[in-house]
A and B are shown apart, each in its own frame.
Chain A
Amino acid sequence: MIHEAGSTVYSEKDKILLAHGSGGELSHELVASLFVKAFANPILDPLNDMAVLRVGENRLAFTTDCYVVTPVFFPGGDIGKLAVCGTVNDLAMGGATPLFLSAGFIIEEGFPLSSLEKIVFAMQKTAAEAGVKIVTGDTKVVNRGAADQIFINTAGIGIIPPGVEILGRNAKAGDLVLLSGSIGDHGVAILSSREGLEFSTTLMSDCAPLNELVAVMLRASPRIHCLRDPTRGGLSSALNELARQSGVGVWVEEDRIPIKEEVRGACELLGIDPLILANEGKLVAIAAEDAAEKILKRMQAHPLGKDAAIIGEVREEPKAKVVLRTQIGSTRIMDMMVGEQLPRIC
């Protein structure tokens, strides 16, 4: 393992822990200290959900994501639906119109073909809903035990309309923070269907393609500065990423964050913080103050944004931090998750 500088950072004792894949602090550290260092280039370095490629006059958005969720089928979706939504959403978070996806499958020997069929049809249905085509793919089968049932990789390409400039570093003091709906649904739905966890819920994953909602928002006003989907690491990681990339303070009101009663209940029971639970059909937007109200109204008129709310604002200070105003009127830091809370939620 040779880095650009020719020096290695890790010793033989260092091992990959599950927490390196959790989307929290350790994931970010791994990306920064290894991948970005080794691959460094001006397209990668801004670390947005997608890369922006200039091709002639056009700007293309390009992204990829791997899906290893367990269980493969969960309330409200399955790994196939997730693999399409996740990549479509990463493109949408750059304001791009998603166009084409690739699909790679790593399948464990013995996996039922009928399950694969269900997954593939779910992918096709979701792709049609999102208006994208799956245009290339690959399949590998590995020995029993070499993978857990099925893993999927999708990559996506979209086109960024002229005038749209949505980047993690664009938040400015005075902007308002919008959230498209209640948080934690996906995390709790997955958790409730896990082997070894004894609780039941009627909650469904919120898994959905968000490109149409983003298009509606952009029609309301192009003055959206940042978008992010709070997947792994939850709302907390998404807001912290934006605060760090823009070098601003993000201030959030605890009692304005929509959280469903079932999610709150499950979190109380299991001692989990809903702010770090994964979502697969929600977005956070940071928009100019005078445009926010109009964007909010349009969001609320869309089925995927009916519970949307303005949850906070952007200030100069404290730089690169998220501050939560608590229900007793005090304040505290909202930090990024460090350990793993729920392995393999996406």
Chain B
Amino acid sequence: MKFIDEYRDGEKARQVIEEIHRQAVAPMRLMEVCGTHTVSIARCGLRKVLPETVELISGPGCPVCVTGNRDLDRAIALTGIPDALVATFGDMMRVPGSASTLAMEKASGRDVRVVYSPLDGLKMAEEKPKRKIIFLGVGFETTAPTVAATVLEARKGGVKNFWVFSMHKTVPLALKTLLDLGEIKLDGFLLPGHVSAIIGSHPYEFLAKEYGLACVISGFEPLDILQSILMLVRQGRSRSPRVEIQYRRGVNPEGNLRALQVMRQVFEPSDAEWRGLGIIPGTGLTFRRDLAEFDACGNFELTVPPAQENRACRCGDVLRGLIRPQECPLYAGACAPKNPVGPCMVSSEGSCAAAYKYDS
């Protein structure tokens, strides 16, 4: 298949792996920010072919995983509104909130449906005018523009029974927060290709300039990631930290201006609560006032008890890169994909799920 097979080519991969082994003389700790990278790395067994000097650490890049329990509880509570039909990406179904999951609510009779696009939710609203269709907006800059475009479409069509619960988050400031916590020492970032296709490379410049970190925006196929690691190793070796783009077929430095414009037309920055990182100002996306009629938050009264956290769950530490999934005391015992305690074990992009599925 075009654009995919050539990035899975075994022989080319071997050459890049050999070059990484030659170049990676000094130890480097690299964080892959994106959950899709985490899964791709685990799925092709990439860690096993790297030299000992190159350490890959998973970061806070799975949007479902970084969603806090307070938001999860509210999303789950939305299913209880009379006539509600909650439309969500499949990944959210089994993520445990304080006391329940969307899948459990569905099993007890509430209407929760899995969709692949927010537009599918809007279509349901048009087809079922007596139902209240509430779309759960979870994702980073990759997802937010599509959701925003759907909201604009709903306004254009005069749709009155469609709402979005926006739990969207933006990435760059979260990386700054992670670094400012000072808990983890990194030499570079493998930056997310899809998010960067929207925001471009400029929002990451501070990582190289202020923090002296090597940065490469990477694609998602095994060979993309290997090439990006080689670029990071070379930056480290020449001590010339900068933001490079490996994923040139998807990303240009300016980003996707049209998508950004649509996103900003609908949403404005707000505080957001990140699992593991706490509340980070300016990393949430909330509805602008003129579109508030589509905001599920403002339009439904929810009584949600204060969020409960399972103290033994260390998803927060996993998301900050402080521990590997296997170092969590619950891993593979009390917490496994069939009985997940934390979101990292259930989301298809979660570090714990990837480790359990591919490494164990």
Contacts and interface: CB of A to CB of B under 8 A. Distances in A.
B103 interface: yes
A129 interface: no
Contact of B94 (A196, A197, A270, A339): A339
A197 B120 contact: yes
Most chain A CB inside 10 Å of its own CB: which residue of B90, B113, B117: B90
Interface in B84-123: 90, 93-94, 103-104, 106-108, 113, 115-117, 119-120, 123
B43 A328 contact: no
Contacts of B116: 196-198, 270
A203 interface: no
Interface string B273-312: 0000000000000000000000000000000000000000
Interface stretch (A14-22, A131-139, A206-214): A14-22
Nearest to B47: A330
Contacts of A332: 42-45, 358-359
Contact of A15 (B107, B117, B226, B346): B107
A333 interface: yes
B222 A328 contact: yes
Contact of A264 (B1, B17, B46): B1
B4 A268 contact: yes
A255 to B, nearest CB: 7
A328 B107 contact: no
Given A29-B338, A326-B222, A261 B1 contact: yes
A29 B223 CA distance: 37
Contacts of A15: 104, 107-108
A6 interface: no
Contacts of B124: 196
B117 A328 contact: no
A204 B117 CA distance: 24
A58 interface: no
Interface stretch (B8-16, B54-62, B202-210): B8-16
A25 B337 contact: yes
Given A26-B338, A255-B10, A18 B103 contact: yes
B212 to A, nearest CB: 30
A295 B42 CA distance: 34
A330 B116 CA distance: 32
Most chain B CB inside 10 Å of its own CB: which residue of A198, A328, A341: A328
A328 B45 contact: yes
B1 A333 contact: no
A265 B42 contact: no
A330 B338 contact: no
A293 interface: no
Interface in B323-360: 337-338, 346, 348, 356-360
A331 interface: yes
Contacts of A65: none
Nearest to A273: B43
Contacts of A29: 338
Contacts of A25: 337-338
Most chain A CB inside 10 Å of its own CB: which residue of B48, B116, B117, B222: B116
A331 B113 contact: no
Most chain B CB inside 10 Å of its own CB: which residue of A19, A255, A330: A330
14 contacts: A19-B103, A196-B120, A196-B124, A265-B1, A268-B1, A270-B116, A326-B43, A328-B44, A328-B45, A329-B14, A329-B17, A329-B49, A330-B45, A330-B49
Given A26-B338, A326-B44, A328-B10, 4 more contacts: A268-B1, A328-B226, A329-B17, A333-B359
- Top 4 A-B residue pairs of the complex, sorted by shortest distance between their CB atoms: A330-B45, A338-B337, A328-B13, A15-B107
